[in-house]
Amino acid sequence: MEGMLQHAAERVSNSEINLQDATIEEAIRLVDSTVNLCNKAGLVLHKWVSNSREIIAAISKELRANAVQQIKPGDNLPTERVLGLLWCTESDSFCFNFEFEEHPTTRRGIMATVCSVYDPLEFLAPVMLTGKTILQNVCREGTGWDDPLPEDLKITWN
């Protein structure tokens, strides 16, 4: 049994399927083989979600994520959390939702704002660069943690 599971795991992990180029049928087969492999090992893969309604329909309701268990034709696909990021399944894109707390315009306030953005894949790097550059300049100038920003940096920050 262990040898069979090892062989199946290697087939799934070494799959030649590029999921961006995969057909719906190939993706469904990959989901089925992965679920079956994990079932044989006593693991239940659940909370499945996809950006394809056909793939969602092929997955049994009890294995689907809550948001897609009762999906009907014409319903919008949900936005799901994936590894801490928001994935808009309808458009198959990551989205970001910001609700910044008000902080004083000081080195400490800028640090708090810049560090409050969770972006492990650095999708927001071009946007965040301004705040990080201001923080770098403030540190370089030796501005204290609670001292007000120099006027030129305050204008750039706002």
pTM of the model: 0.66
- The b-or-e profile of 57-72 (16+ CB within 10 A means b, else e) is ebbeeeebbeebeebe
Count of Cβ atoms closer than 10 Å to residue 138 Cβ: 22
Which residues, including other chains, have CB under 8 Å from residue 113's CB and lie 6 or more apart? 100, 101, 103, 131
Query: What region does 45 belong to: left with phi over 0, alpha with psi -120 to 50, or beta?
Result: beta
Give the residue among 88, 145, 96, 90 at the shortest CA–CA distance from 122. 96
What phi and psi values does residue 125 have, to the nearest 5 degrees? -50, -45
* Ordered per-residue pLDDT tens for the chain, 158 residues: 566 556 656 655 555 445 666 788 988 998 998 899 889 889 998 999 999 999 999 999 999 999 998 888 888 999 998 888 899 999 999 988 878 888 899 999 999 999 988 888 889 999 899 999 999 999 998 999 999 988 888 888 88
Which residues, including other chains, have CB under 8 Å from residue 39's CB and lie 6 or more apart? none
Domain map (residue ranges) of the chain: 2-75, 107-157
- In this structure, what is the dihedral angle of CA atoms 96, 71, 51, 8, given to the nearest 10 degrees? 120
Task: Give the span between the Cα atoms of 119 and 83, in whole angstroms.
Answer: 11
